[in-house]
Structure 1
Amino acid sequence: MENVNSYDESVPVLIVGGGYSGLATSMFLAHHGVRSLLVDRHAGVAVQGRARGINPRTMEIYRPLGIEERIKEAGRPFDADSGVVRCESLSSEWNWIMMQDSPRALPELTAGEFGMADQSTVEPILAETARAGGAELRHYTQCVSVEQDADGVTAVIEDRTTGKRRTVRAQYLVACDGYRGGIRESVGIERTGRGVIRSYVSFVIKADLSDLIEKTALFWIIGGGSVAGGFVTHAVPNQWGVALTYDPAVESPEDFTIERCAKAAQGLIGRDVPVEVVDKAAWEEAVGVADRYRSGRVFLAGDAAHVWPPAGALGANSAVQDAHNLAWKLAAVLKGQAGDALLDSYEDERRAVAVELADLTVRSQESRFGPTPQEDPLEPTLCILAQRYRSSAMIGAEHTGVIGETVDQYAKPGTRAPHLWLDHEGRRIGVHDLFHDAFTLVTGPSGDEWQRAVETVSGRTSVPVRAYRVGPASAAPELVDVEANWAARYRLGHGGAVLVRPDGYVAWRSEELPDDPAAALADALRQVLGKAA
């Protein structure tokens, strides 16, 4: 083991990249009491808001952190964005190719709601929440090199303002450095997929279009006129996003001067209106999934692990859900509650989902926006709420497909715990509000013996486990089943119980009360965590 004094600083987890996945990893680790350092080569959080749709599952995992309402307030209601339009310019006739007055809320399936907030408004909330929990974020700082050994990771980071370099020692590193980030290749992980499909220059403009746009769209696909490109709504009034494709074999992003961008925007608008370009960036639409999500003590998350077309708004949401899955596992290992094998389950679970979503989004993009409209293979509700896992971190998962045929999974191992509306100490909550920082054992109203089992197991282990009984108010449980859905959705026999992980996925179920509930629970935790409980 190298001498700690040879490093300028040490930290349990180093995160490289400050986009959605990096900020979410930092935030969730802080929620679990794990200190991290995030370095990002950019000067601050996102200025452009390419990622905007926030799905109910992501909102569901934001709720226990207390930021769901803040994100909703920072965004705008979905009914202000009513679909996708094809046209020759904003001034020409509009052809609605996707019409949705507003995505339907799903209160019978989740307490999370659909959200519409630009990345530029959400990232500051994630950053603030991470810092409030003790995380350190350093912008305009790049990771120059990464080396690892059996005991940890050594990284050299550089302040891009001063050029000063520091050596950081971490027990684990999470690479959130994007599709073009270098850490994946540096640790020998290949990527499979079609690669870059299109190259874009996107920019934000200020323009008063109130006399032109009476009903906004999610975005406009503009072609057939003087300019072809995309035009999108923005969180800031009178600001709009513009995206233009280019051929990197012929030109580069530097060829798109401010004057050229302003003229292109006027062409898309179809009128010679005053336009101010306030920000410009280059990006690529690509398809690819890393062959592995882990190399020793280095993990990939977000675009560093997977990229696909924007159909379904699943990219940024998947990045946050990667972070959510990985953070509790890193915390459990760092606290000595779990063995190293638990970390392997991150790849087993999240990579399988990524492979499936990459295929679905490519086909969805082609069906929606190709020359001949076809039936869209992407079923949003299932892709959002019916993702299923198989790994060592759950016992008895029997499903084969990654996306369930229905959201009704009946609390089977490897599935997201079914939603319930509950009354807890006089407050209406969703059951997933309880699943965030501990394992949770959920039973019916006759679960007294399970509660004693949790007390027994908790008394001899550092693994946090809570127990709740669910039932009608007349049974005086901790959680009152206000809509009487417990029995139908969890389908347990008399005295049965479900063990739910901190990420809201079912780890194990016992259909009936075993002879020794404490021994059964301890054995389940041992198998899931890879360490005796």
Structure 2
Amino acid sequence: MHEETVDVLVVGAGPVGLTAAAELRRHGVHCRILDRVTEPPPYPKAVGVQPRTFEVWEAMGLVGRALDAALPLHGQLTFTDRAPGPRTALDLPADVPYRFAALPQYTTERLLAEHLAGLGTEVERGVALTGLRQDEDHVRAVLDDGRTLAARYVVGCDGAHSTVRKAAGIAFDGDAFPEQYMLGDVELDWDLPPGHVVRATGADPGDVLVAVPLPGHRRYRISSRTTAPDGAAPGLPHLQAVLDRLAPGPVTAHALRWSSTFRISHRLAARYRAGRVLLAGDAAHIHPPTGAQGMNTGIQDAHNLAWKLALTVHGLAADTLLDSYHAERRPVGEEVVGRTVRHARSTPGDLTANLLREAQLLIAYPDSPVTDPSCDGSRAPDCTGLQRPLTGYPARLHELLHGPRPVLLLHAGPRTRAADLNAAADAARAAAHDRLDVHVILAADAAARPDDLRAPWLGDPRGAFRRAYAPRDGEALLVRPDTHLAARLPTPAPAPLTTALRRLFAPR
């Protein structure tokens, strides 16, 4: 039988696998995506969408459709023995462009699958991976229909029971909570304000009801310990019994769409990379659903990995670039697993103690092999009020950063000459194999004149960029395709820029 070939094979077509495949296609990589199930699951398993994930979707080009389909989350209400407890408003600083939202996983998967199809790739459903064999140049993926696919890389996004992870021999250590829980997708008739997550406990702090609002009329996904027979899907009477015991007031559940039972596990892969095999999402980390961290962390795994795989496949990456995936994302997975396990056993008030962390906006990669010592690898903040030529409206910085290439921002103040900016831009483009976008940010008192620049420029007439970044005159900021800072250099001198770019790109 003829052996098929592909640059990257993605196994698993949940939100993480679909993100990985779509981002690989956006970066010009030939990929295929398989899933063993014949139809997408119709369950609202993961429902919370974090602000950082909306930023990822903006970069991908589907944020508008996601925002149209999502329900804003305004806050969290807590109750103990029916008495009101701490109330948390999900308020974020004005410079964060997106807010918290609820979106059922089946809608997320549909939007991502349609987006991927628009890029020319369809999910190959009803196809299961049965084994992997690696050699120096390829991974041979054995499929259940007898075919073999030769891929340069395989990305396992196939969940907690990942066949890819098992075939690669990667350990997945952890534990599970003894309790069994249930989920239900229902309509609730109660008088609580809409758009709020409700968390109610009884005399036993472990007896918890969590209701997350969903798009639709009074629709919620509720979870609690189950009284249904072991392994049986709970019915409306089981869900109503929990509501009668824990809800803060009279409530009736009806219009049950779906229900299930589950146990909470927490596990972390020993490695996110084994040669040409890489893991993302639940294949690499699973943890309690507290704070809606799981799917969002997995989507950001895929976003982090795709541009690195693309540069590697195109033969442009530095030797350490693909290794940085494990170095950056496994500590994130470890922190999320630890934090959600602690929160699952803590009092409700701890759940949203740090909204920026819950929003996944504080992730940084200071110890990454591709982060220059001049910065901490944090997310590049957004700012608005920039002035772009030929436009009569203010521009956002993130509009410049959401392309598929790294971006060099050169800040021009009163002492920076246009000739120095031009020399830096030319050297940086050469070091990046011309896979780099360069923009000059002109301060209100900039000495450089726009007509003398060989790179696109934006004005900062109100000092928005200055407030967000506190840049030095002439500072060069290198931003990765995932909008994390790779370097902050005090001057636009070509030599330091070339050194910083060598962490991402192979020498010419």
Deviates more, 1:495-504 or 1:344-353: 495-504
Q: Residues 435-454 of structure 1: matches in 2 within 5 Å? A: 435-436=401-402, 437-445=404-412, 446=416, 448=418, 449-454=420-425
2:433 equivalent among 446, 454, 462: 462
Deviates more, 1:315-324 or 1:35-44: 35-44
- For 1:138-161, what per-residue CA distance to the aligned partner results, in whole angstroms no more than 9, with x for missing partners? 233322222221111111234xxx
Give the whole-Å Cα distance in 2 for the aligned partners of 1:305 and 1:201.
24
1:320 is the counterpart of 2:306: no
1:99 equivalent among 87, 110, 114: 87
Q: 1:442 to 1:203 in 2, by over 3 A?
A: same
User: Quick check: 1:438–1:501 contact (8 Å CA) kept in 2?
Assistant: yes
Aligned AA (1:498): L
User: Quick check: 2:424–2:492 contact (8 Å CA) kept in 1?
Assistant: no
1:12 equivalent among 7, 13, 18: 7
Structure 2 SS opposite 1:18: coil
Aligned AA (1:385): L
Structure 2 SS opposite 1:106: coil
Q: State the Cα distance separating 1:377 from its structure 2 match.
A: 8.5
Query: Which segments of 5 or more consecutive residues in structure 2 lack a partner in the other structure?
Result: 245-249, 451-455
Structure 2 SS opposite 1:430: coil
Superposition TM-score, scaled by structure 2 size: 0.85
Tell me the equivalent position of 1:407.
none
Structure 2 SS opposite 1:141: coil
User: Quick check: 1:19–1:46 contact (8 Å CA) kept in 2?
Assistant: no
Give the whole-Å Cα distance in 2 for the aligned partners of 1:505 and 1:415.
5
Give the whole-Å Cα distance in 1 for the aligned partners of 2:192 and 2:478.
51
Tell me the equivalent position of 1:90.
none
User: Quick check: 2:199–2:208 contact (8 Å CA) kept in 1?
Assistant: no
Q: State the Cα distance separating 1:84 from its structure 2 match.
A: 4.0
User: Quick check: 2:431–2:502 contact (8 Å CA) kept in 1?
Assistant: no
1:131 is the counterpart of 2:117: yes
- For 1:178-234, what per-residue CA distance to the aligned partner results, in whole angstroms no more than 9, with x for missing partners? 1222322221111343345544343334x4x44x34524414546679x98554433
Q: State the Cα distance separating 1:237 from its structure 2 match.
A: 2.6
Q: 1:152 to 1:65 in 2, by over 3 A?
A: same
Tell me the equivalent position of 1:406.
none
Q: State the Cα distance separating 1:488 from its structure 2 match.
A: 4.3
Q: Residues 230-309 of structure 1: matches in 2 within 5 Å? A: 230-237=210-217, 239-245=219-225, 252-253=230-231, 255-256=232-233, 261-270=235-244, 275-309=254-288
Structure 1 SS opposite 2:147: strand
Aligned AA (2:6): V
- For 1:394-444, what per-residue CA distance to the aligned partner results, in whole angstroms no more than 9, with x for missing partners? 1116xxxxxxxxxxxxxx242222332233342544323322311111111
Aligned AA (2:39): G
Give the whole-Å Cα distance in 1 for the aligned partners of 2:211 and 2:353.
23
Give the whole-Å Cα distance in 2 for the aligned partners of 1:366 and 1:391.
32
Give the whole-Å Cα distance in 2 for the aligned partners of 1:439 and 1:223.
51
Give the whole-Å Cα distance in 2 for the aligned partners of 1:377 and 1:113.
14
Q: State the Cα distance separating 1:54 from its structure 2 match.
A: 1.7
Tell me the equivalent position of 2:387.
423
Tell me the equivalent position of 1:471.
442
Deviates more, 1:22-31 or 1:358-367: 358-367
User: Quick check: 2:92–2:356 contact (8 Å CA) kept in 1?
Assistant: no
User: Quick check: 2:428–2:501 contact (8 Å CA) kept in 1?
Assistant: no
User: Quick check: 2:321–2:503 contact (8 Å CA) kept in 1?
Assistant: no
Q: Residues 72-151 of structure 1: matches in 2 within 5 Å? A: 72-79=67-74, 82-85=76-79, 94-100=82-88, 102-108=89-95, 110-151=96-137
Give the whole-Å Cα distance in 1 for the aligned partners of 2:275 and 2:421.
38
User: Quick check: 1:450–1:467 contact (8 Å CA) kept in 2?
Assistant: no
Give the whole-Å Cα distance in 2 for the aligned partners of 1:353 and 1:123.
23
Q: 1:288 to 1:419 in 2, by over 3 A?
A: same
User: Quick check: 1:59–1:114 contact (8 Å CA) kept in 2?
Assistant: no
User: Quick check: 1:522–1:532 contact (8 Å CA) kept in 2?
Assistant: no
Superposition TM-score, scaled by structure 1 size: 0.81
User: Quick check: 2:131–2:163 contact (8 Å CA) kept in 1?
Assistant: no
Q: State the Cα distance separating 1:263 from its structure 2 match.
A: 2.1
1:356 is the counterpart of 2:316: no
Aligned AA (1:103): L
User: Quick check: 1:13–1:172 contact (8 Å CA) kept in 2?
Assistant: yes
Aligned AA (1:289): L
User: Quick check: 1:75–1:116 contact (8 Å CA) kept in 2?
Assistant: yes
Aligned AA (2:379): R
Q: 1:273 to 1:453 in 2, by over 3 A?
A: closer
Q: State the Cα distance separating 1:506 from its structure 2 match.
A: 1.4
Tell me the equivalent position of 2:453.
none
- For 1:363-398, what per-residue CA distance to the aligned partner results, in whole angstroms no more than 9, with x for missing partners? 2232234xxx6x56952214522212121111116x
1:522 is the counterpart of 2:508: no
Give the whole-Å Cα distance in 2 for the aligned partners of 1:119 and 1:330.
26
Query: Which segments of 5 or more consecutive residues in structure 1 lack a partner in the other structure?
Result: 88-93, 159-163, 398-411
User: Quick check: 2:318–2:502 contact (8 Å CA) kept in 1?
Assistant: no
Give the whole-Å Cα distance in 1 for the aligned partners of 2:487 and 2:25.
27
Q: State the Cα distance separating 1:310 from its structure 2 match.
A: 2.3
Aligned pairs, number: 482
Aligned AA (2:216): V
What is the percentage of aligned positions where both structures have the same residue? 29
